[in-house]
Structure 1
Amino acid sequence: MLITFKSKSSAGLTMYQEHAQRILDLLHKNASRGVITAAEAAKAVELLEQEVALSKLHPEVEADHAAHTHAHTLPEEGETPEIAERNHVGFAQRAYPLLEMLRAARDGGDDIIWGV
């Protein structure tokens, strides 16, 4: 399932729900429908930046989270563990576009909505 985040401060952003879920859980938001208000955006940026930093400091936790995503559990046919490791997209890379959207919303005083 896809989630499309929308804000007046930036272009729309579409993510797989399984990748957005970790971020939304961190922000105590529902994946099916929600809003991050302009007032909440500053705290959301802070929390997400901390989570990104932790994921970089503790790659073993990152690997555990990745093991629960659909893309990680279904390797390409003939893919070796070395290639899978090299092709792995981590939490920091997946979170970056939404983090940028949150920063723009914070700076522009706009809300981010999804599921409407």
Structure 2
Amino acid sequence: MLVTFKSKESADVIMFEPDAKRILDLLHKEVKMGVITPQEGAAAIAKLEAEALESRAHPMSDVVQHDIAVHHGEAGDDSGHEPVQAIAFGHRIHPLLEMLREAQKHQDNVLWGV
């Protein structure tokens, strides 16, 4: 399922629900519907920036490493799979961070699920 974030000053940001949920859990928001007000914006931006820095410091989690191991054959070959390209959480949240920054600058809400 997809979650679409909206703000007056930015293009819509569309994310897969698991990525959106991870972000919104950090902000103590529900994934189905919600709002980040201008009053909450600065704290939300700071929280997400800190999380982005943390994710860049630890780009490959145990889950990703396990997933890579499972997809490779017992002989260590890749069975023709493409090389894994890990996308850090910080990269996934970048479009939403930009939207939050613009909304904060113009004192607008960021909405989803509406």
TM-score of the superposition, structure 2-length normalised? 0.81
Structure 1 residue 79: Cα displacement: 1.5
Structure 1 residue 59: Cα displacement: 2.8
For residues 29 and 111 of structure 1, what CA distance do their matches in structure 2 show? 14
The number of equivalent residue pairs is 104
- Structure 1: where are the runs of 5+ without partners? 68-72
For residues 106 and 11 of structure 1, what CA distance do their matches in structure 2 show? 15
Alpha-carbon spacing, 1:2–1:64, altered in 2? closer, same or farther (3 Å): farther
For residues 43 and 66 of structure 1, what CA distance do their matches in structure 2 show? 30
- Structure 2: where are the runs of 5+ without partners? 72-78
Structure 1 residue 58: Cα displacement: 2.4
Task: Tell me, yes or no, if the aligned pair for 1:66 and 1:90 is still in contact at 8 Å.
Answer: no
**Identity level (%):** 47
Task: Tell me, yes or no, if the aligned pair for 1:32 and 1:115 is still in contact at 8 Å.
Answer: yes
What amino acid does structure 2 have at the position aligned with 1:79?
Answer: H
Question: Which has the larger Rg?
Answer: 2
For residues 63 and 50 of structure 2, what CA distance do their matches in structure 1 show? 16
Stretches (4+) displaced over 4 A = 64-67
Task: Tell me, yes or no, if the aligned pair for 1:4 and 1:115 is still in contact at 8 Å.
Answer: yes
Greater helix proportion: 1
Structure 1 residue 39: Cα displacement: 0.9
Cα RMSD over matched residues?
2.3
For residues 27 and 17 of structure 1, what CA distance do their matches in structure 2 show? 15
Q: Is 2:8 the partner of 1:5?
A: no
Structure 1 residue 78: Cα displacement: 3.0
For residues 47 and 65 of structure 1, what CA distance do their matches in structure 2 show? 23
